[in-house]
């Protein structure tokens, strides 16, 4: 018996879809390819609001993540990121930006991405399906009890990421899962689970859109809140940066002036003596001490400028 060839699915046809919400066909954009340009752009912009709402709904658990990670980082632990595809690239981005922004040691922000660093620019097909590779990559960086794994996967089912979680947890690290679908393994396997329920994408299944945006916001929130708690910020100034180029030198001078009320010449002189370190220059000027005394006060205060300034 011969079977007639199947015709392409038409709108309204019953179609068996993936149960994951990020893989669903968005019900509101069946005519996306026919929209005039202004309407098309507005659709993409408006849909990003769902990313913000998803992170807002997860604020309580993000607070729990920061609270659990903080003592581990204070004890010398590392942030280890694990992901594949867009999620992996966002982990690489967050890890990389901690050093220029907060002078966080690069060896204490370890990004792992399925397929290795080649996958940052080129898709490595099938790498995300290798659960043992995720576990092996984690074991290769020798996680310990002071380390924190941030495992990110929009689907919540990526084998590479699940392998990373299980290996990190077995080694005693704190494990955090960040996923965009409820009821998925990545929200069951780790110590703490962050659901960013962004729903279907405007372009069906393209989780580089609002799912990725929500992940970026969540990672920014976790790492930035940790850096504030670790004394990398004074007021809302990123005072642990070093002025390593013309743009940053200008920014450093403005921050020192803003924090201390010093004039331009005094700010530049203090920064030169402090090797471009904003926090040290601020303590020098506020307390009228030399660079060695400022550095000693900051060390005694655990790196917190406000504590150094208020110490007897």
User: Over the stretch 291-305, which tens digit does the pLDDT of each residue have?
Assistant: 999 999 999 999 999
State the pLDDT confidence band at 24, using cuts at 50, 70 and 90: confident
Q: Which of 23, 63, 97, 125 is catalytic?
A: 97
Query: How far is residue 84 CA from its own chain's centroid?
Result: 14
Q: Token pair of 217, please?
A: 């916001």
Q: How far apart are CA 160 and CA 138, in angstroms?
A: 10
Tell whether the model's pLDDT for residue 4 goes beyond 70: no
pLDDT in tens, 119-157: 999 988 889 999 999 999 999 999 999 999 999 999 999
Tell whether the model's pLDDT for residue 15 goes beyond 60: no
Q: What is the CATH number of domain 246-310?
A: 1.10.8.1080
Q: How far apart are CA 245 and CA 212, in angstroms?
A: 31
Overall average pLDDT of the 43-64 stretch: 97
Closest CA to 294 of 305, 99, 237: 305
Burial of 256 (0-12, 13-18, 19+ CB in 10 A): buried
- Identify the pLDDT of residue 17: 53
Beta-carbon contacts of residue 31 (< 8 Å; ≥ 6 apart): none
Q: How far apart are CA 270 and CA 276, in angstroms?
A: 8
Q: Where are the domains of the chain?
A: 50-229, 246-310
- Residue 13, CA distances (Å) to 7, 23, 27, 99 in order: 11, 17, 13, 51
Overall average pLDDT of the 62-91 stretch: 98
Q: How far apart are CA 100 and CA 54, in angstroms?
A: 28
Q: Which of 23, 63, 118, 128 is catalytic?
A: 128
Closest CA to 27 of 7, 42, 53, 47: 47
Task: Kindly state which CATH superfamily the domain 50-229 is placed in.
Answer: Glucose-6-phosphate isomerase like protein; domain 1 (3.40.50.10490)
Closest CA to 219 of 115, 111, 116, 117: 111
pLDDT in tens, 225-265: 999 999 999 999 999 987 778 888 899 999 999 999 999 99
**Can 125 be counted among the known catalytic residues?**
no
**Can 107 be counted among the known catalytic residues?**
no
- Identify the pLDDT of residue 205: 87
State the pLDDT confidence band at 9, using cuts at 50, 70 and 90: very low
Q: How far apart are CA 175 and CA 270, in angstroms?
A: 42
Q: Are 74 and 179 in contact (CB under 8 A)?
A: no
């Amino acid at each position: 018996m011969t079977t007639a060839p199947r015709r392409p699915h038409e709108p309204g046809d019953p179609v068996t879809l993936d149960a994951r919400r990020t893989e669903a066909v968005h019900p509101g954009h069946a005519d996306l390819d026919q929209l005039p340009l202004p309407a098309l752009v507005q659709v993409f912009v408006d849909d990003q609001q769902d990313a913000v709402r998803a992170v807002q709904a997860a604020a309580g658990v993000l607070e729990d993540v920061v609270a659990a990670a903080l003592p581990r980082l204070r004890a010398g632990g590392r942030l280890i990121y694990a992901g594949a595809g867009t999620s992996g690239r966002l982990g690489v981005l967050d890890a990389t930006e901690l050093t220029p922004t907060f002078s966080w040691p690069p060896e204490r922000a370890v990004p792992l991405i399925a397929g290795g660093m080649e996958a940052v620019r080129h898709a490595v097909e099938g790498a995300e399906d290798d659960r043992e590779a995720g576990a092996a990559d984690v074991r290769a960086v020798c996680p310990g009890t002071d380390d924190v794994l941030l495992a990110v996967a929009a689907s919540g089912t990526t084998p590479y990421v699940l392998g990373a979680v299980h290996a990190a947890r077995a080694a005693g690290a704190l494990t955090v899962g960040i996923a965009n679908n409820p009821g998925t393994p990545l929200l069951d396997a780790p110590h703490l689970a962050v659901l960013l329920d962004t729903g279907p994408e405007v372009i069906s299944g393209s989780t580089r859109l609002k799912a990725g945006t929500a992940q970026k916001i969540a990672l920014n929130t976790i790492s930035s809140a940790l850096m504030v708690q670790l004394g990398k910020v004074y007021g809302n100034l990123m005072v642990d940066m070093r002025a390593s180029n013309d743009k940053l030198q200008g920014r450093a001078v403005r921050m020192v002036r803003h924090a201390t009320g010093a004039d331009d010449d005094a700010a530049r002189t203090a920064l030169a003596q402090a090797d471009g370190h904003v926090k040290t220059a601020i303590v020098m000027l506020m307390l009228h001490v030399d660079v060695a005394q400022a550095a000693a006060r900051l060390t005694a205060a655990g790196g917190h400028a406000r504590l150094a300034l208020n110490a007897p």
